[in-house]
Structure 1
Amino acid sequence: LEGNLLRYVNCLLQDSDSNFWRKARFLVHTGNRQLASHKDGKIHLCKSWLSWSSPELISVSPLAVVSGQETSLLVRGRNLTNPGTEIHCAYMGGYTSMQINGSTYKGASYDEVNMGSFKIQVPSPKALGRCFIEVENGFKGNSFPIIIADAAICKELRLLESELGTEAKASDIISEEHAYDSHRPRSREEVLHFLNELGWLFQRSTAPLPKSSDHSLRQFKFLLMFSVESDYCALVKVLLDMLVESNLDMDDLSKDSLAMLSEIQLLTRAVKRRCRKMVDLLIHYSISSNDGNSKKYIFPPNLEGAGGITPLHLAACTSDSDDMVDVLTNDPQEIGLTCWSSLLDANGQSPYAYAMMRNNHSYNKLVAGKYADRRNGQFSLTIGVEDQHSGVSAVQLNKISLQFKQDRRSCAKCAVVATRSNNRFPGSQGLLQRPYVHSMLAIAA
């Protein structure tokens, strides 16, 4: 391209089988600061690209919005208030000029502009998509992606705003001499790459997803790893559903998709981060057969990684991971519970042995208690204040207890046991509150 940019742009316009490029408005820029623009059938060449006076977006808040919901945007960048600078919203091939509404702050390192009411309506039933906020002054400017999703995903993605930052850094400033050698912090580059890839995938989801290629599998790989490492449970669920939709082969995922998931070890990553909600999501994620009579769970707790290490082994040798052991031994197929002492790694060690070697004896007691309950036809409940790491809250437990009392049949033996239990533990009929710990015994009449 750098050798003869004009000739290559002409080839793109003349040799294309469709009128897409001939009717489009686009810009092409190369590493030696050449710029070619096409509009209304005319090509313009320009050598100047970015300079100290070029407008540049640093961040847009919020960076994720709900389809059909009005919101206001806070745009941060450099040289946004210069004469001739315009801000647009690009969506589905259309442009909308955005009027400045409210305060404009011009600081030493960045400008801050409060935009007016902003609303995007996605035609897809999934309500997923993307748009771009663009700033331009002549041929100078850049863009920032905005993700369109449901409220749960938007709440997760908005946590990324703190990683983009607003203060100008030395590596952020683009000079005339180093317009193409600028090096932004890696975290910022990765976040923007993630948003662009996610937006591209969401935009394609407005129509039925095509069968995945090697490129799309690499895209899913990056997006899933980033999302799991960020504890984005709602987003991971949507990404897995989209992966299944585009890679389903009969009643199972394609071999390439399964190989990709096996390589990135999502469940192991979630266990390392000790994110109970993510681990619970993954071990319960399944693919239903066409007739709906069977399910296949694609993230079992005994899924082997390097050296035969499984998520069970990892949790067993990690301190303060009782909740991880608990959720991994609560999988729907009861794999974690039944193979705790028999699942061996490459060195012949089981999760039970790992816990013993690391003095995590409480893990083995926890699993032994759950196994005994299972053998005796009983079940265990996690009792505590409800948060992201707990199971059942005291309020939920009280509702379960009341429902059980209403549904159970009375008998003399049960009444005697209940009376003795109430005498031993006064006040146990009410809500369980900390710091008291109550033992529970479920008796089937």
Structure 2
Amino acid sequence: MESYIRPGCVILTIYLRLPNWMWDKINVDPAPWIENLISISTHGFWETGWLYARVQDRLTLSCNGRLMLVSPWRPVIGDKHQILCVTPIAAAYNSTANFSVRGFNIAQPTTKLLCIFGGKYLVQEATQKLHADTRIQQGPQCLTFSCSFPSTSGRGFIEVEDYDQSSICFPFVVAEESICCEIRMLEEKLNIIAFGDALEGREDLMASRSQALKFLHEIGWLLQRSHTRATSSKAPQQHHAVGFSAARFRWLLSFAVDQEWCGVVKMLLDTLFQGNIDVASPVDFVLGESLVFAAVNKRSKPLVACLLRYTTKSAPVGSGAVATPARFLFTPDMTGSSDITPLHVAATITNAAAVLDALTDDPQQVLAPNSHAIFFLN
């Protein structure tokens, strides 16, 4: 149940597993099935209010248990309507962002634009009012608008909706400005216009775009859950948001490391040690991810330096535990598989002089007593 998507409306998603022949039957005539669903209801849930149901290309509309409409579904927004790019994809909280939305057929007499964040509509406007060029256009159209964000981090949506409730949407993230600066580097990967008409390599570009969109959704959802947990920390324990899954967090962390984003990586590690992730031991989890090795293999001096200087002293939110003294998590001599250290890796790959400098300049000076060995490897 996701009311954050559409304020004032709770979207209940029901997953059904049926044989193909049954789906075919429902698609031909969904009316008897909807009427049967209403009639067998014992608690009145399906008999109260409006019920809009769509199966493939057929839709039904019921009101207070009475079937009012059965009709083919012909969406106005379909393959010919598309959001090609949105800028910015990340906005700082406590700021005003100037958005630009480019796409095909997004400014029509019957369409409106919605900007949704934090369970509220920040913008609800007819798209033609946001479209500066009133001439008929064959190519992409551009909508521009501004909205201000509160001191809240999370995920929002920009949605173009038509009168028949068909819609297309695009996510954006609200976070600290330093985090937003790094996330906005994905805008080029998300911009379909920049792909051009060339077919060669397009499949790889679309796959990269899909991964970038997934990251936007996931990082925004994590920020939103973490904010909810932090702001409800004084409430009873049962009201706390459930932790983010370890598998999803691992994917986010790997993506951020691959992009060499120091700010996002630090924010993710902070989130982990604030108790927002479903792991038994945050320290064991993060040390098992071989982050320094990944940074060395990418020859990323800034990321290596960021990890070696990262410290944590936070206790999980709501745990009642006292925060432990600050401790460094990563060292240049930490061992991985076959007792290999990041220093060994840096010494055996090309163009890694800057990374070696970062490893030997760690704040704990772990390697200082053995500096002669370092020069030998270098």
User: Does residue 112 of structure 1 match 2:112?
Assistant: no
Instruction: Tell me if structure 2 keeps the 8 A contact 1:56–1:135.
Output: no
Given candidates 216, 228, 238, the residue that maps to 2:257 is 228
User: Does residue 57 of structure 1 match 2:57?
Assistant: no
| Gap runs ≥5 in structure 1 | 173-181, 342-351, 353-362, 368-445
Structure 1 equivalent of residue 235 of structure 2? none
Decide whether aligned partners of structure 1 residues 108 and 268 sit closer, same or farther in structure 2, where only a CA change above 3 A counts: farther
- State the Cα distance separating 1:135 from its structure 2 match: 0.7
- State the Cα distance separating 1:259 from its structure 2 match: 4.8
Structure 2 equivalent of residue 149 of structure 1? 175
Partner of 1:207, secondary structure, is helix
CA distance in 2, matches of 1:29, 1:364: 69
Could you tell me the TM-score, scaled by structure 2's length?
A: 0.70
Structure 2 equivalent of residue 364 of structure 1? 375
User: Does residue 97 of structure 1 match 2:108?
Assistant: no
CA distance in 1, matches of 2:329, 2:173: 28
Given candidates 200, 203, 222, the residue that maps to 2:221 is 200
Decide whether aligned partners of structure 1 residues 118 and 230 sit closer, same or farther in structure 2, where only a CA change above 3 A counts: same
CA distance in 2, matches of 1:161, 1:53: 22
Residue range with higher mean Cα deviation, 148-157 or 183-192: 183-192
Structure 1 equivalent of residue 302 of structure 2? 277
CA distance in 2, matches of 1:248, 1:82: 43
User: Does residue 301 of structure 1 match 2:332?
Assistant: yes
- State the Cα distance separating 1:319 from its structure 2 match: 2.4
Residue range with higher mean Cα deviation, 95-104 or 273-282: 95-104
**Per-residue Cα deviation, 1:11-61 (whole angstroms, up to 9, x for no partner):** 9xx7999x9xx88x998777x556678999999775445875653212210
Decide whether aligned partners of structure 1 residues 366 and 285 sit closer, same or farther in structure 2, where only a CA change above 3 A counts: same
**Per-residue Cα deviation, 1:101-126 (whole angstroms, up to 9, x for no partner):** 6347876553222x23221223xxxx
Instruction: Tell me if structure 1 keeps the 8 A contact 2:77–2:167.
Output: no
**Where do 1:287-436 residues align within 5 Å?**
287-288=312-313, 294-338=325-369, 364=375
Decide whether aligned partners of structure 1 residues 28 and 332 sit closer, same or farther in structure 2, where only a CA change above 3 A counts: farther
CA distance in 2, matches of 1:105, 1:311: 60
Instruction: Tell me if structure 2 keeps the 8 A contact 1:67–1:149.
Output: yes
Instruction: Tell me if structure 1 keeps the 8 A contact 2:249–2:277.
Output: no
Given candidates 56, 71, 74, the residue that maps to 2:97 is 71
| Gap runs ≥5 in structure 2 | 1-15, 231-239, 315-320
Decide whether aligned partners of structure 1 residues 106 and 246 sit closer, same or farther in structure 2, where only a CA change above 3 A counts: farther
Instruction: Tell me if structure 2 keeps the 8 A contact 1:89–1:97.
Output: yes
- State the Cα distance separating 1:297 from its structure 2 match: 2.3
Instruction: Tell me if structure 1 keeps the 8 A contact 2:94–2:150.
Output: yes
Query: Percent identity at matched positions?
Result: 27
User: Does residue 186 of structure 1 match 2:207?
Assistant: yes
CA distance in 2, matches of 1:8, 1:259: 51
CA distance in 2, matches of 1:311, 1:143: 43
User: Does residue 266 of structure 1 match 2:291?
Assistant: yes
CA distance in 2, matches of 1:8, 1:57: 33
Instruction: Tell me if structure 1 keeps the 8 A contact 2:312–2:327.
Output: yes
Instruction: Tell me if structure 1 keeps the 8 A contact 2:115–2:158.
Output: yes
- State the Cα distance separating 1:68 from its structure 2 match: 2.7
Decide whether aligned partners of structure 1 residues 187 and 27 sit closer, same or farther in structure 2, where only a CA change above 3 A counts: farther
CA distance in 2, matches of 1:16, 1:340: 75
- State the Cα distance separating 1:134 from its structure 2 match: 0.2
- State the Cα distance separating 1:186 from its structure 2 match: 0.5
CA distance in 2, matches of 1:161, 1:69: 20
Partner of 1:314, secondary structure, is helix
Could you tell me the TM-score, scaled by structure 1's length?
A: 0.60
Given candidates 189, 192, 210, the residue that maps to 1:166 is 192
Decide whether aligned partners of structure 1 residues 27 and 77 sit closer, same or farther in structure 2, where only a CA change above 3 A counts: farther
Looking at CA atoms only, which structure, 1 or 2, has the larger radius of gyration? 1
Decide whether aligned partners of structure 1 residues 320 and 169 sit closer, same or farther in structure 2, where only a CA change above 3 A counts: closer
Structure 2 equivalent of residue 140 of structure 1? 166
Partner of 2:83, secondary structure, is strand
CA distance in 1, matches of 2:191, 2:255: 19
Decide whether aligned partners of structure 1 residues 293 and 196 sit closer, same or farther in structure 2, where only a CA change above 3 A counts: closer
Residue range with higher mean Cα deviation, 276-285 or 287-296: 287-296
How many residue pairs were aligned? 321
CA distance in 2, matches of 1:161, 1:305: 35
Instruction: Tell me if structure 2 keeps the 8 A contact 1:61–1:73.
Output: yes
- State the Cα distance separating 1:247 from its structure 2 match: 5.7
**Per-residue Cα deviation, 1:233-277 (whole angstroms, up to 9, x for no partner):** 11211111111111699xxx833x445434432211212222222
- State the Cα distance separating 1:170 from its structure 2 match: 7.3
- State the Cα distance separating 1:313 from its structure 2 match: 1.2
CA distance in 2, matches of 1:26, 1:65: 36
Instruction: Tell me if structure 2 keeps the 8 A contact 1:55–1:136.
Output: no
Decide whether aligned partners of structure 1 residues 86 and 108 sit closer, same or farther in structure 2, where only a CA change above 3 A counts: same
**Per-residue Cα deviation, 1:339-379 (whole angstroms, up to 9, x for no partner):** 678xxxxxxxxxx5xxxxxxxxxx51698xxxxxxxxxxxx
Q: What RMSD, in angstroms, separates the aligned Cα atoms of the two structures?
A: 4.1
Bigger relative contact order, structure 1 or 2, given CA contacts below 8 A and separation 6+? 2
Instruction: Tell me if structure 1 keeps the 8 A contact 2:98–2:145.
Output: yes
Structure 2 equivalent of residue 88 of structure 1? 114
